[in-house]
């Protein structure tokens, strides 16, 4: 089958080939791009992501037992496991359930949904496909986790509480998969609102939908570089933020302001001071960006994106040559209102706010500028803000 087919069509067709009958349900869960608010989540701060119209899809049919049979269509790999064995974190009797394989993600979801008196789960037959780029900082793994959770909801009939599901998917990522992610990716994927970004308070997990400025589009610029091994750098920055918070006498940098930071500047080493300055100023920028979006002030929103990149580049030091090149190419292109790196950094994607009428000219000019500067071709996506994970009721193959 052509790899150009939309994953929605791929899973529906592949399900019928694989199982000899049509699918009974179809679920999707989106990737995400963070518009502003980087490295604020683990400091109890604010983030402003939006769900993407790129998603992981699962076509499925519920089973009467606890067996999950799943075809990963993109990988042409099959796996089978029992829900009960996942609850016990026991791979005995599961097919292709070796630690570290792709099936670990669905098994982790089954474990997390059942944990601590959670949900009673039934199995399902399913086919999975995704068009969220892997390793680009667009939350491809969270999209898969949430799609599997939505498939279990269809098969098992439990109520969908976005915050509870997001917390459980974060637990799956942290304690089964072994990635120390925050909750932003899972929560925007579970609770995204079509046509809007989502302001998330990472302390109490309250959310608020925020309209994008009228007459603008969001463009994601994939640098075609990947982060590689940045766990030590990430952990180092978390420790530096904790050091600064302790010096400020606050539980997290969310609780500090710039005046308080300046007052203790002499007691902090320069690196810890700059890390804290980024987080404190970035939290302020997120809230200012919400005000700008709600006022329809696209220019102010764009300026805040530019300031965010400068802070991530200089104070937090998580940008890269490729990300800086992509941001510079975007800013030089027609219709660009602002651009910044997005995600943890060191590679992956940048994001730009662009005048809608200029989007085609912007993409052409930014792509050419990035290739001239970097010697590599990037990938550009004019993104639509999508809804969070859900069920598609139309099972027609188009």
- CATH number for the domain spanning 379: value is 3.30.70.890
- The answer to whether residue 184 sits within a structural domain is yes
Q: Which domain holds residue 168?
A: 7-210+386-392
Task: Give which of 52, 7, 6 is closest to 343, Cα–Cα.
Answer: 52
Do residue 145 and residue 38 come from a single domain?
Answer: yes
Do residue 147 and residue 279 come from a single domain?
Answer: no
Do residue 379 and residue 313 come from a single domain?
Answer: yes
Please give the average per-residue pLDDT across 53-82, as a whole number: 96
> Which percentage of the chain shows pLDDT scores above 70?
95
317-375 residue pLDDT tens: 999 999 999 999 999 999 999 999 998 888 899 999 999 999 999 999 999 999 999 99
Please give the average per-residue pLDDT across 242-270, as a whole number: 97
Q: State the Cα–Cα distance between residues 132 and 140, nearest whole angstrom.
A: 5
- The answer to whether residue 284 sits within a structural domain is yes
- The answer to whether residue 367 sits within a structural domain is yes
Number of domains forming the structure of the chain:
2
Do residue 178 and residue 61 come from a single domain?
Answer: yes
Please give the average per-residue pLDDT across 215-231, as a whole number: 82
71-128 residue pLDDT tens: 999 999 999 999 999 998 877 667 655 566 899 999 999 999 999 989 999 999 999 9
**What does the pLDDT read at residue 229?**
43
- The verdict on whether 76 is a catalytic residue reads no
Do residue 193 and residue 244 come from a single domain?
Answer: no
- The answer to whether residue 397 sits within a structural domain is no
The DSSP 8-state label assigned to residue 267 in this structure reads G
158-208 residue pLDDT tens: 999 999 999 999 999 888 988 777 889 999 999 999 999 999 999 999 999
Backbone angles phi, psi at 190, to 5 degrees: -85, -30
**Helix boundaries (H) for the chain:** 7-19, 83-87, 104-114, 140-156, 162-171, 184-191, 231-248, 258-263, 270-294, 298-314, 321-332, 359-374
Pairing of the two strands 124-130 and 67-72: parallel
Do residue 79 and residue 182 come from a single domain?
Answer: yes
Do residue 178 and residue 247 come from a single domain?
Answer: no
Do residue 122 and residue 102 come from a single domain?
Answer: yes
Do residue 15 and residue 155 come from a single domain?
Answer: yes
The catalytic position among 44, 94, 185, 315 is 185
Q: State the Cα–Cα distance between residues 334 and 387, nearest whole angstrom.
A: 29
Q: Does 64 have pLDDT greater than 70?
A: yes
32-44 residue pLDDT tens: 999 999 999 999 9
Do residue 34 and residue 122 come from a single domain?
Answer: yes
**What does the pLDDT read at residue 125?**
98
Q: Report the 10 Å Cβ neighbour count for 134.
A: 12
Q: State the Cα–Cα distance between residues 253 and 57, nearest whole angstrom.
A: 37
**What does the pLDDT read at residue 1?**
32
Do residue 138 and residue 216 come from a single domain?
Answer: no
Instruction: Please report, for the domain that includes residue 196, its CATH number.
Output: 3.30.230.10
Q: State the Cα–Cα distance between residues 381 and 334, nearest whole angstrom.
A: 16
DSSP, residue by residue, 106-168: HHHHHHHHHTTT------EEEEEEE-SPTTSSS-HHHHHHHHHHHHHHHHH-----HHHHHHH
- The answer to whether residue 398 sits within a structural domain is no
- The answer to whether residue 348 sits within a structural domain is yes
Q: Does 271 have pLDDT greater than 80?
A: yes
- The answer to whether residue 2 sits within a structural domain is no
DSSP, residue by residue, 316-355: S----HHHHHHHHHHHHSTTEEEEEEESSSSSSEEEEEEE
**What does the pLDDT read at residue 189?**
97
Do residue 261 and residue 274 come from a single domain?
Answer: yes
- The answer to whether residue 1 sits within a structural domain is no
Q: Band of the pLDDT at 217, cuts 50, 70, 90?
A: very high
Q: Check: CB of residue 304 under 8 Å from CB of residue 36.
A: yes
> Which percentage of the chain shows pLDDT scores above 90?
84
Q: State the Cα–Cα distance between residues 258 and 332, nearest whole angstrom.
A: 32
């Amino acid at each position: 089958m052509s790899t150009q087919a939309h994953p929605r069509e791929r899973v529906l067709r592949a399900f019928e080939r694989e199982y000899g009958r049509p699918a009974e349900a179809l679920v999707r869960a989106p990737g995400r791009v963070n518009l502003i608010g980087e490295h604020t989540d683990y400091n109890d701060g604010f983030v402003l992501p939006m769900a993407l119209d790129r998603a992981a899809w699962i076509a499925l049919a519920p089973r009467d037992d606890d067996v999950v049979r799943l075809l990963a269509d993109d990988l042409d790999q099959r796996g089978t496991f029992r829900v009960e064995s996942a609850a016990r974190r026991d791979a005995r009797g599961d097919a292709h359930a070796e630690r570290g394989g792709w099936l670990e993600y669905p098994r982790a979801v089954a474990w997390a949904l059942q944990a601590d008196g959670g949900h009673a789960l039934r199995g399902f037959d399913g086919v999975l496909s995704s068009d969220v780029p892997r390793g680009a900082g667009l939350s491809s793994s969270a999209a898969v986790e949430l799609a599997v959770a939505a498939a279990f909801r269809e098969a098992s009939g439990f109520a969908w509480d976005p915050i509870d599901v997001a917390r459980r998917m974060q637990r799956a990522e942290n304690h089964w998969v072994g990635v120390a992610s925050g909750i932003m990716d899972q929560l925007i994927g579970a609770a995204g609102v079509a046509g809007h970004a989502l302001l998330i308070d990472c302390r109490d997990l309250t959310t608020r939908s925020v309209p994008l400025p009228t007459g603008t589009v969001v463009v994601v610029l994939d640098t075609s570089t990947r982060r590689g091994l940045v766990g030590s750098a990430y952990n180092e920055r978390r420790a530096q933020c904790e050091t600064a918070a302790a010096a400020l006498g606050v539980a997290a940098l969310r609780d500090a302001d710039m005046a308080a930071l300046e007052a203790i500047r002499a007691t902090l080493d320069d690196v810890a001071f700059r890390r804290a300055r980024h987080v404190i100023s970035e939290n302020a920028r997120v809230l200012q960006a919400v005000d700008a979006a709600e006022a329809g002030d696209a220019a102010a929103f764009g300026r805040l994106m530019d300031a965010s990149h400068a802070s991530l580049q200089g104070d937090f030091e998580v940008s890269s040559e490729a990300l800086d090149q992509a941001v510079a190419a975007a800013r030089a292109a027609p219709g660009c209102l602002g651009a910044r790196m997005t995600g943890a950094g060191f590679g992956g994607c940048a994001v730009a706010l662009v005048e809608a009428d200029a989007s085609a000219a912007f993409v052409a000019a930014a792509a050419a500028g990035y290739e001239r500067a970097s010697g590599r071709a990037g990938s550009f996506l004019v993104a639509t803000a999508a809804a969070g994970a859900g069920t598609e009721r139309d099972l027609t193959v188009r």
